[in-house]
Structure 1
Amino acid sequence: MHRKDGYVLIILLIAIFVMSIGLLVAIPVWETQIQREKEKELIFRGKQYVEAIRLFQTKHPGSFPKSFDELVEEKCIRKLFPDPMTKDGEWNIILPYSGSSSRRRGATTQTNKILVVPQSALSSVQNPQIIGVVSSSTKSSFKIYLEQETYDQWLFFYGQDPQSMPEIVYYGEDERD
């Protein structure tokens, strides 16, 4: 009877070992799948903000929201979506760039630049005009979105031309001409 008990224990240990190896193989696959789902969600949420800003523009031609709360108050977006790629859910905000190089000989020229401001610093920007959002995560992505490979380069803004990516100027960085 004792010999039989020993075999059962060995078979049980082998079964646990095989299941452990199966889990070790499955966990990276699950992590990859979760990351890909988050990427899809990031694109969906980013486009929701772009659509909300477009609706705001329709209601208030020539002006952009100064805060996300304005989008909710004006019923342009049903709720504020957090950034799915960060733990705190804070987006970086995209504002039109109005640096010194945009004026030449008294005329305003179109520059292909945007200003990226952390959501927490938006209150320190004078007269902000929100045109979009971008993730604050600097992690590399699985998906390449508009030829960009990190989440902080996946831009979602009103008037975006997928064929022409703007130069990004980060809030607090001095512009170097």
Structure 2
Amino acid sequence: MALIAAMTVMAILIAGYVPHLARQIQREREEELLFRGQQIVEAIAQYVQMTGRYPSSLEELVRGFVIQTPRGTRRVRFLRPSALIDPMTNDEWKVVRPGDPVLRR
């Protein structure tokens, strides 16, 4: 009988903790979303500063380009590949332009 009572109490405590855990996971994903968004903003700014133009795609920020230095050539990259994954959907970012129907939802 005591075992059943203990298990019932544990089940109630766990059931009360699940919503808190879900909110915590959501908060962490939102923080990561903001962090990755800021990484993309900074990468675009650095790219524009170095090239004088905007990248044609986000992948261009990951690929970067080769530059000549006094010590030889080196590849300049502006963004890590992981920054291209939306932490809310675990899918690649989608480019949204003004007038896009997704903005009207």
TM range (shorter): 0.7 to 0.9
What's the offset of the Cα at 1:83?
0.2
What's the offset of the Cα at 1:85?
0.6
1:84 aligns with 2:87: yes
Question: Deviating runs (4+, > 2 A) in structure 1?
Answer: none
Number of residue equivalences = 90
CA distance in 1, matches of 2:33, 2:22: 16
The structure in which a higher percent of residues are strand is 1
Letter in 2 for 1:29: H
Question: RMSD in angstroms over aligned alpha carbons?
Answer: 1.9
Q: 1:50 to 1:84 in 2, by over 3 A?
A: same
What's the offset of the Cα at 1:171?
5.9
The structure in which a higher percent of residues are helix is 2
Letter in 2 for 1:65: P
Q: 1:54 to 1:25 in 2, by over 3 A?
A: same
Percentage of pairs with the same residue: 38
Range that drifts further, 68-77 or 24-33: 68-77
CA distance in 2, matches of 1:47, 1:172: 22
What are the ranges of 5 or more consecutive residues in structure 1 without an aligned counterpart?
1-9, 95-114, 116-167
Q: Which has the larger radius of gyration?
A: 1
1:37 aligns with 2:28: yes
TM-score of the pair, normalised by structure 1? 0.47
**Alignment correspondent of 1:161:** none
